[in-house]
Amino acid sequence: MRLGTRQPWSARAARQAWRVLDGTLAWAPALLLLAPLVMLGIGAFSTTWDSNGPRGFSLQPFRTAWTFSARSAGFSVLMATSVAMMSTMLAIPIAYFLLRSEPWLRRTLGALVFLPAVLPSLLYAMGLIMALPGLHGGWGLLFLAYAAQALPFAVWPVLAGLQLLDIALLEKAGQTLGASRWQRLMWLIVPNALRPAAVGVVSVFVLVLAESSTSFFLASGQYQPFGVTLYNAFQDLDVRIAAASTMMLIAILAPAVLAMELWLARRVVRPVQDRAAALPDFAQAQRALS
Rounded CA separation 24/13 (Å): 16
Q: For the CA atoms of the chain, what is the radius of gyration?
A: 25
Query: What is the rounded distance in angstroms from the CA atom of residue 38 to the CA atom of residue 110?
Result: 41
pLDDT score for 271: 55
Which residues are CB-contacts of 150 (< 8 A; sequence separation ≥ 6)?
A: 83, 84, 87, 204, 207, 208
Q: What is the pLDDT of residues 65-104, one digit of tens each?
A: 888 888 888 898 999 999 999 998 999 889 888 888 888 8
pTM score, two decimals? 0.74
Alpha helices in 119-176 (DSSP H): 121-131, 139-163, 167-176
State the DSSP code for 224.
Answer: -
Please give the average per-residue pLDDT across 24-37, as a whole number: 81
CA distance 12 to 22: 15
How far is residue 33's CA from residue 178's CA, in Å, rounded to a whole number?
54
- Please give the Cα distance from 198 to 188 (Å, whole number): 17
Which among 19-28, 39-48, 49-58 has the top mean pLDDT? Answer: 39-48
Task: Say yes or no: domain 57-265 is CATH 1.10.3720.10.
Answer: yes
| Domains of the chain, residue spans | 57-265
